[in-house]
């Protein structure tokens, strides 16, 4: 660990945000052990856009958009703070895809020896970004995609990007994504569709959930993912131009995986400040009863660069009377 991150100890998670105080009789679900270790952001200082992580056993596996010559870079960590590069989770692309634009991968574990990775890639036939799926027996991979065409591709709507799998409490599997409308000047919708139990095919109709409607969102919303808390289904999403300081993170509350969904009036809940800009395309990780927002952000004034690029930040997401909030981006020492 570098001198910016104080040494980690035996605790499985060496990370926690100091709880924010709330008055008026509200309750905030957070507790920080007195012996917790501390850290400072960013937890990954190199270019690692669109992060998503899953825990298998005692190890966290993080996947992000292509960088460093890898289609799907994967990193491992025991604690969400100290990350070690672990190769390319998807070293070979299917025959229908071209390399160079493999974006926003997300993995889900469906059985002890079955993992499915959903990813955005350049579809040769349509010339658009489309969605693929690949399977592995271990979280590190290598994942293999044996398909002969994309899982989802909406060329007339600009293409399809930012796939996110979700297993609901009833066991059903769902896939979220965005049509890449801003690529052709049309609306960007967040979509939901049910997945087959093996995670490889879509069933039933696709449903439109949300599109860009608010001033802070600019011309697009993207990077969707579902998260249930106390039975309520939350849809988190990023909005605005990814390479600008106006990029930010918000959420909506949905009646179910097919909606309807209502955006939160307090959006955005994570936006630029003096330590990091353009925070967004987040994912959620949970440990020891606490919820964490894992997201990328630029160093101020370096939006759109690749060195250091979009670094990975970690802040606690607290729940006050069932409403999520995050104090961040936060660079000060956290526990």
Which is the catalytic residue, given 47, 50, 180, 316?
50
Give the tokens for residue 122. 């350049």
Per the listing, tokens 């808390």 go with 229
Give the tokens for residue 107. 């993995």
CA–CA distance, 93 with 103 (Å, rounded to integer): 13
Closest CA to 188 of 147, 160, 226: 160
Active site residue 222: yes
8 A C-beta contact, residue 294 and residue 51: yes
Give the length of the chain. Answer: 335
8 A C-beta contact, residue 10 and residue 279: no
E strand or H helix that includes residue 335? none
CA–CA distance, 125 with 153 (Å, rounded to integer): 10
CA–CA distance, 310 with 126 (Å, rounded to integer): 29
E strand or H helix that includes residue 206? strand 202-211
8 A C-beta contact, residue 140 and residue 57: no
Give the CA angle between residues 322, 326, 331 to the nearest 5°: 160
Contacts of 175 (CB under 8 A, 6+ apart): 118, 151, 152, 163, 164, 165, 166, 192, 193, 194, 195, 202
Beta-carbon neighbour count of residue 185 at 10 Å? 8
Closest CA to 177 of 123, 226, 134, 247: 226
Contacts of 3 (CB under 8 A, 6+ apart): none
Active site residue 162: no
Which is the catalytic residue, given 79, 162, 222, 249?
222
Contacts of 222 (CB under 8 A, 6+ apart): 161, 162, 178, 188, 190, 237, 238, 239, 242, 281
Residues with a catalytic annotation lie at 50, 222
């Amino acid at each position: 660990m570098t001198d910016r991150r104080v040494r980690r100890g035996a605790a499985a998670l060496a990370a926690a945000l100091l709880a924010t105080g709330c008055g008026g009789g509200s309750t905030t679900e957070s507790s920080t052990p007195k012996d917790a270790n501390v850290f400072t952001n960013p937890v990954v200082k190199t270019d690692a856009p669109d992060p998503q992580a899953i825990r298998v056993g005692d190890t966290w596996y993080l996947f992000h958009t292509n960088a460093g010559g890898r289609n799907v870079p994967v990193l491992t960590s025991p604690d969400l703070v100290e990350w070690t590069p672990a190769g390319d989770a998807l070293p070979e692309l299917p025959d229908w895809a071209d390399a160079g634009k493999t974006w926003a991968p997300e993995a889900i574990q469906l059985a002890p020896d079955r993992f499915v990775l959903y990813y955005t890639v350049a579809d040769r036939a349509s010339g658009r970004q489309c969605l693929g799926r690949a399977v592995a027996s271990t979280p590190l991979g290598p994942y293999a995609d044996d398909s002969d065409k994309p899982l989802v591709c909406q060329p007339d709507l600009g293409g399809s990007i930012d796939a996110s799998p979700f297993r609901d409490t009833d066991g059903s599997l769902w896939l979220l994504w965005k049509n890449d409308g801003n690529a052709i000047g049309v609306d960007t919708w967040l979509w939901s569709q049910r997945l087959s139990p093996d995670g490889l095919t879509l069933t039933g109709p696709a449903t439109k959930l949300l599109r860009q409607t608010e001033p802070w969102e600019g011309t697009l919303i993207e990077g969707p993912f579902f998260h249930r808390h106390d039975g309520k289904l939350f849809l988190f999403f990023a909005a605005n131009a990814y390479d600008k300081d106006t990029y930010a993170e918000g959420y909506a509350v949905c009646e179910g995986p097919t909606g309807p969904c209502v955006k939160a009036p307090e959006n955005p809940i994570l936006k630029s400040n003096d330590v990091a800009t353009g925070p967004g395309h987040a994912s959620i990780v949970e440990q020891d009863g606490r919820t964490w927002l894992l997201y990328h952000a630029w160093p101020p004034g370096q939006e759109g660069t690749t060195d250091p690029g979009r670094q990975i930040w970690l802040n606690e997401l607290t729940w006050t009377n069932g409403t999520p909030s995050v104090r961040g981006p936060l660079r000060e020492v956290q526990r």
